[in-house]
A and B are shown apart, each in its own frame.
Chain A
Amino acid sequence: MSTGIESWNVNLLDIGPMYPFPGTEMLWVIIGLATWILWHIIQIKMENRVYDREDAHYKDSAVLEKAMVLAEAETLVESMKAHDPENFKTS
């Protein structure tokens, strides 16, 4: 059983491709192209789901307001205040 090269003790000038399964290149290209297209399809569906969910979440203006305050926080203390103002006061 050999997937490609069987010995290096040959005339090296005769060696061409060194990868396993030479002759199957077209099959790998088809697999590669399909994988690439599939990746975009999965990614776009995934991203759409996330944005739909987030957009629905932020329809509550109080939630959006809190997120915007949090987004503008420059420090961890500001983030904590924005996240949980009531408990922050007691700490």
Chain B
Amino acid sequence: MSDQLGALTTIFTEVYYWVTVVFMFLIHVGFCMYEVGASRRKHMMHTLMKNTMVIPLVTVTFFYFGWWIYFGWINGPFITGGVADAPWATPWSELMGTHMGGKPMSDALTADDTMGWARINGVFWAAFLLFSWTAASIVSGAVIERIRSGAFWLLAVLIGSFTWIIDAAWGWSPDGWMIQLLGYHDAYASGVIHAIAGGFALGVLVHLGPRIGKFRADGTPRNIVPHNPWLVTIGLFLIYTGFWGFYVACNIPIFDIGPAAGMSESFFSTTNIYLAPTTTSAITFNFLMSLSGGLMAAYLISKGDAFWTYSGGLAGVIAASSGNDLYHPIQAMIIAAVGVVFVYKMHFWVERRFKIDDVVGAVAVHGYGGFFGVVIAGFVLWGYPSSMNPDYAAVTPWGQFIGAIIMFFVLGFLPAWIVAGILKGMGLLRIPERVELAGLDVSEYHGRYLDKAEVAMAERKEARERGYLKA
């Protein structure tokens, strides 16, 4: 750090990721508000705590093993190679702590490792960690009002610190095997975060079952109304805001791509996660245009329903996210609009056909929207290089389709279906029916409502005794 320009670049990058992390925190705030608003009053504090505790549990486990998986499992392992060395990311690495970048103590680390990672490791880890929270939080909304918190938190660790980061190693790193062999391209995580989380939620919902009263005797669904629609919409606004941070967190702000392009001189650019060129300006165009396409289509197809219009804005961005580093803004808008129609139709078809009670539409917005986004990028970006390495496969419709299957079903649905099935078999998945009926917040032991009523009644009693009210 004795060269001023090098120090400026390094410390700018460090602060850049830190800012994205703060923005992305709003995603979690938004999801909490959304879920609390969507739940009924009798369940709302339980719903809040269920999602809040994702933060510490996924954070500590992402420190213990998630971060290492991202670097260590890029080859599968055993698809394009073995377990890769990542001595800066093991939880016992000196670089997983305060470090000045000087001579390493450990023989496993080189001087280059310490210089490069000492200042970036924590903020880069945190940027990925916030994606981990998001993955778990997407699942959280689908299962509210009847899942046991303990079961959900185990499932949250499974997706937040294990399965999603495997898919990131495979399909969201410059040398992941899916990039090498399939030409997989998913710049802003349509599949890597959204499809996997939607598939995971579906895997849990199959075992969890619907809320009591959700379906009529003839199998048609009832609309269980959110207790606070205003909170739902503000939550979604905050998710949009955090999503901006998510987008820039998916980029590397300053990187010399000249050598990788075969140039004799340096060429500094912002890159996507694959170290291929894009610009922050491009993704700003495309984020806003895909948000707009999603909102406009959702408004029309839902006939102005606020819940689905807001969700449609989110689904629109998700549907365009795979290729939003490269699309033209109007392409992004149209892809978003078409994706939202697909998401909306699929949600109600699956709900009626399979009796899936997805409270916040998470499987649809994130799962089907993400799946659609990955697949459509295969057609629109057909033939584009998937990375700077000319030996890796190019983007194709079939590569993207296989990628979408891996994200939604293999790493999303399947692990959730297996683990949720085990938890169900142990009687740990769903709350007792009588407690569900009474309400998770309304009980003899956690009687917030009872306490409130009791205090109000006690005040009246004392007011009468003091002569302020008639006896």
Contacts A16-B100, A16-B114; A70 near B450 (Cβ below 8 A): yes
Give the shortest distance, in Å, between A77 (CB) and chain B (any CB). Answer: 8
Interface residues on A, range: 35 or more
Q: Determine, out of B335-343, B349-357, B397-405, B427-435, the stretch whose residues face the partner at the interface.
A: B427-435
Instruction: Determine if B150 and A47 form an interchain contact, defined as CB atoms under 8 angstroms apart.
Output: yes
Q: Does A55 lie within 8 Å of B434, measured CB to CB?
A: yes
Contacts of B438 in A (CB 8 A): 54, 58, 64, 67-68, 71
Q: How far is the CB of B452 from chain A (nearest CB, A)?
A: 6
**CB pairs A–B below 8 angstroms (7 shown):** A16-B102, A16-B114, A18-B99, A58-B438, A71-B441, A84-B453, A90-B471
Check A76/B452 contact, CB under 8 A, given A16-B100, A22-B105, A59-B434: yes
Measured CA separation A90–B105 after assembly (Å): 77
- Complex contacts, A72 vs chain B, CB 8 Å: 42
| B114-A82 in contact (CB<8A) | no
What residues of chain B lie closer than 8 Å to A16, measured between beta carbons?
94, 99-105, 114
> Residues of B with Cβ closer than 8 Å to A?
1-2, 40-42, 57, 60-61, 63-64, 91-94, 96-105, 114, 148-150, 153-154, 428, 431-432, 434-435, 437-439, 441-446, 449-450, 452-454, 456-457, 460-461, 464, 469, 471
Which residues of A have CB within 8 Å of B149?
43, 47
Assess A25 versus B442: contact at CB under 8 Å? Given A47-B150, A54-B435, A91-B469.
no
A79 in complex: contacting residue of B57, B60, B153, B452, CB < 8 Å: B452
Kindly state the separation between the CA atoms of A82 and B445 in the bound complex, as whole angstroms.
17
Residue among B431, B432, B453, B457 facing the most chain A CB atoms (10 A cut-off): B453
**B150–A40 CB distance below 8 A:** yes
Residues of chain A touching chain B, judged by Cβ–Cβ distance below 8 Å, are 12-19, 22-23, 25-26, 28-29, 32-33, 36, 39-40, 43-44, 47-48, 50-51, 53-55, 57-59, 63-64, 67-68, 70-74, 76, 79-80, 82-84, 87-88, 90-91
The smallest C-beta distance from B453 to any residue of chain A, in angstroms, reads: 4
Closest-by-CB residue of A relative to B454 is A83
Which A residues touch B454, using CB under 8 A? 83-84
CA distance A84 to B153 in the complex (A): 37
On chain B, the residues within 8 Å of A80 by CB distance are 453, 456-457
Task: Give chain B residues whose Cβ lies under 8 Å from the Cβ of A47.
Answer: 148-150
- Kindly list 9 other residue pairs between chains A and B, CB separation below 8 angstroms, not including A44-B150, A51-B148: A13-B102, A17-B94, A48-B150, A50-B445, A51-B432, A72-B42, A76-B453, A83-B450, A87-B461
**Provided the pairs A32-B60, A44-B428, A71-B41 are in contact, do residues A18 and B98 lie with their beta carbons within 8 angstroms?**
yes
Known: A15-B102, A54-B432, A84-B457. A67 touches B92 (CB 8 A): no
* Contact between A71 and B42, CB atoms less than 8 A apart: yes
The residue in chain A whose Cβ has the minimal distance to the Cβ of B463 is: A91
Question: Measured between C-beta atoms, what is the minimum distance from A33 to chain B in Å?
Answer: 6
- A29 near B42: Cβ-Cβ < 8 Å: no
Which chain B residue lies CB-closest to A33?
B64
* A57 & B60 in contact (Cβ 8 Å cutoff): no
Q: Which residues from B are CB-within-8-Å of A29?
A: 64, 91-92
Q: Which residues of B contact A70 (CB under 8 A)?
A: 439, 442, 449-450, 453
Contacts of B42 in A (CB 8 A): 71-72
5 A-B pairs with least C-beta separation: A71-B42, A83-B453, A67-B438, A71-B439, A58-B434
Kindly state the separation between the CA atoms of A33 and B57 in the bound complex, as whole angstroms.
11
Question: In whole angstroms, what is the CA distance A18 to B118 when docked?
Answer: 11
Q: Which residue of B lies closest to A57 (CB)?
A: B444
**Which residues does chain A contribute within 8 Å of B57, judged by CB atoms?**
36, 39
Query: Which single member of B60, B64, B153 contacts A43 (CB below 8 Å)?
Result: B153
Residues of A within 8 A of B64 (CB): 29, 32-33, 36
- Shortest C-beta distance, B125 to chain A (Å), equals 15
Contact at A79–B94, with CB atoms within 8 Å? Answer: no
Note all chain B residues with C-beta closer than 8 A to A59. 434
Interfacial chain B residues near A39, Cβ < 8 Å: 57
A10–chain B nearest beta-carbon distance, Å: 10
- Cα distance, A71 to B42, chains bound together (Å): 5
- Nearest Cβ distance between residue B447 and chain A, in whole angstroms? 8
Known A-B contacts A16-B99, A67-B439; the reply to A36 vs B60 at CB < 8 A is: yes
| B453 and A12 form a contact (CB under 8 A) | no
